[in-house]
Structure 1
């Protein structure tokens, strides 16, 4: 081995996974991703939410200093607790992992066109005001609060891939995942990549599992080099003061969610 050969720069990656069955495809893909990234020299932390018995609901227990006899204003209470360093210990620990990371991967099964409730609860509780968004932080939809981090969704779905296409009955995968890609990642400043999907996941024969791992490995290898989704920035001159896209900015014929993606040059 040539000791002078250039080494890939080590990165720090947080993988958050959510499935109640330890032998599930989701868990297997999370384990594969962890092993593959570590073999490439990266440092990986894993938050397995079911194994952690993660509390999914936001409530007053998240903000220990809030008076118990008043009305709970979640955004204001979460901002006060965040800025004072007084969040509940489990939330604070997950926020530290996000701050530590250079990239965040969410690994989950698609249930009812969204993420499992336990993962949505992780988002609700961890991305507090003062951490992921809010008036004390830079504007959203830009290199804002959590800028500088890559983000990847890896999802399993029982349906066939064609049903998640432009003419598929479920809609394009990117559109179904828009609340995560644009509304979580890009809103908080993280840079999302195109999502990775494994389809017909309820009955996946070994040869298709091996093919899925090969494709996943390719996507993981490009975590820091693949071109991200080119979402428009709120502060880049494309939107007015009411956060509406200015007329004529888009390529003629563009509509729907594609309006918020910069056209290819």
Structure 2
């Protein structure tokens, strides 16, 4: 197995959340498997999450976002850990993506073409997602809508290939044994990068 540069992005604002526990376990396990690991906690960053001009004019990036882009460029594999709130990714994560995955960094428009150049090609990803909805209900009733959105129209749009999506839930009613099993699942996923 070749060592990879792994970036673990925590898309939850709280350090004592189950997402934080999953991201910490993933990072420790990836490091134990011989990978170089960096952790990016979005809740620790200082930035304006709003695209005030859309993509008509790219806002100057705050120092934390410049560093985040450097970490993404460094990474060969990204683990994105976040909760589903109100059927979507948290506003913090959405704002981060809006501000960081901008034209010229994550993709480039082509003249006279409807297709973009994927500037983050060559990277893989794992999605680790928590929810309070039972995963079977989310799969069959909501059709995994927000997971497809993150995988296809965000990451794959920019060239990042999602290798695995792990769904953990319902978290709100999970017993300690269940949470331990989920942490073990995150550990196993990190060892198979």
Same fold (TM over 0.5): yes
Bigger RCO (CA 8 Å, 6+ sep): 2
SS of structure 2 residue aligned to 1:55: coil
For the pair 1:147 / 2:140, whether they are aligned, the reply is no
Look up the SS of the partner of 1:16 in the other structure: strand
Residue 49 (structure 1) aligns with: 42
Query: Which one of 169, 184, 189 corresponds to residue 141 of structure 2?
Result: 169
Partner SS for 2:31? helix
- Cα offset for 1:43? 1.3
Distance 2:28 2:66 in 1: 26
Alignment RMSD: 2.2
Q: Which structure shows the bigger proportion of residues in strand conformation?
A: 2
TM-aligned CA deviation for residue 93 of structure 1: 1.4
Which protein has the larger Cα radius of gyration, Structure 1 or Structure 2?
Answer: 1
1:163-221 C-alpha deviation (Å, 9 max, x unpaired): 123xx3232x3x43111100011101111123111011012212111211222222222
1:131 paired residue among 101, 105, 108: 105
Select 1:207's aligned residue among 168, 177, 191: 177
Separation in 1, partners of 2:127, 2:2? 22
TM-score, normalised to structure 2's length?
0.88
Q: Alpha-carbon deviation of 1:155? A: 0.4
Contact 1:186–1:192 (CA under 8 A) maintained in structure 2: yes
* Stretches of structure 2 lacking an aligned partner (at least 5 in a row): none
Equivalent residue in structure 2 for 1:34, among 13, 27, 30: 27
Residues 39, 89 of structure 1: alpha-carbon distance in 2 compared, 3 angstrom cutoff: same
Aligned residues between the structures:
191
Q: Is the 8 A contact 2:21 2:183 kept in 1?
A: no
State the 1:75 CA deviation.
Answer: 2.1
Structure 1 segments unaligned to the other structure (5+ residues): 1-7, 60-71, 224-265
CA contact (8 A) 2:27 2:190 kept: no
Indicate the residue corresponding to 1:101 in structure 2: 75
Q: Mark the CA change 1:191 to 1:23 in structure 2 (over 3 Å): closer, same or farther.
A: same
Q: Distance in 2 between matches of 1:20 and 1:132?
A: 24
